[in-house]
């Protein structure tokens, strides 16, 4: 137990010491991501808007479904939250293998790479959130006191994404086909997370599976506090407890394995 506590203390201390490097890595990745794109930061807005338009056409014209708020607002909120996690994980999965010279030649906490991927995607998330605010004003959806829960939900999602990012980056370093399998998994995961449809009409064993999905819980929590004006449902607290265990375990596993990273580059 003392050894474990010492390791966690060392991990945290290293992150504090190399906090400036984490900032520089995130800033570098943010600049590189948009440097050669014609629209720049506008890409952070285009993806959820484009997907919202497509799903609105499907679920308002082709196969209409009932939602508690106008469907475009319902869909954009879910897609905004989903894109934050999905984008962070896409970049994190190859964050180690894409920086081989740094991983093999210079010592610093290697978890900075997946953490930087999460930080960059958080910036995209913050920028795109301005569109959600504009849509809430357009559809006359007013915030309530439940908005006080929003920081907690953001922390839970960020911690969950960071934990998953550590595991994916490490797994892809040892098994290079992980990033290809993950693309398939990400598509399945999106449609099993109730991002663009409500859970009310899904029952039976399928409904149970969808409801135990952490992303379903997180997306519903955002909709509750932002769109419906009510506190998060009970499952969010279970997800928060699970994340509180998952992140330290993922970080510890990553820290223990990083000494073997150079051998697998």
Report pLDDT digits (tens) over 16-55: 777 777 788 888 877 777 765 555 566 667 778 888 888 8
Residue 126 has, within 13 A of its CA and on its CB side, a CA count of 8
Q: Are 103 and 110 within 8 A, CB to CB?
A: yes
pTM, 2 dp: 0.89
Q: For position 56, what pLDDT does the model report?
A: 87
Cα-Cα-Cα-Cα dihedral of 236, 229, 202, 131, to 10°? -90
Residue 55 CA from chain centroid, whole number: 21
* Tens-place pLDDT, residues 207-228: 788 888 889 999 999 999 999 9
Q: What is the pLDDT of residues 9-22, one digit of tens each?
A: 666 777 777 777 77
């Amino acid at each position: 137990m003392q050894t474990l506590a010492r390791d966690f203390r060392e991990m945290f201390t290293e992150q504090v010491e190399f906090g400036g490097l984490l900032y520089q890595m995130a800033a570098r990745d943010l600049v590189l991501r948009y440097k050669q794109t014609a629209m720049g930061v506008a890409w952070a807005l285009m993806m959820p808007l484009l997907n919202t338009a497509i799903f609105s056409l499907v679920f308002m014209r082709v196969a209409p479904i009932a939602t508690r708020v106008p469907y475009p607002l319902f869909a954009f909120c879910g897609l905004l939250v989903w894109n934050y996690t999905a984008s962070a994980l896409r970049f994190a999965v190859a964050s180690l293998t894409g920086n081989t010279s740094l991983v093999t030649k210079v010592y610093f906490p290697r978890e900075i790479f997946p953490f930087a991927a999460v930080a960059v995607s958080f910036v995209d998330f913050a920028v795109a959130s301005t569109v959600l605010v504009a849509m809430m004003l357009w559809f006359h959806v007013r915030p309530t006191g439940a908005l006080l829960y929003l920081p907690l939900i953001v922390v839970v999602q960020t911690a969950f994404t960071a934990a998953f990012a550590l595991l994916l980056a490490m797994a892809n370093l040892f098994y290079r086909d992980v990033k290809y399998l993950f693309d398939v998994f990400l598509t399945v995961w999106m449609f099993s997370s109730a991002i663009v449809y409500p859970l009310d009409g899904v029952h039976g064993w399928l409904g149970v599976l969808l409801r135990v999905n952490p992303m379903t819980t997180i997306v519903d929590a955002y909709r509750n506090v932002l769109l419906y004006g009510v506190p998060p449902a009970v499952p969010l607290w279970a997800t928060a407890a699970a994340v509180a265990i998952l992140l330290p375990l993922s970080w510890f596993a990553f820290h223990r394995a990083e000494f073997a990273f150079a051998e697998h580059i």
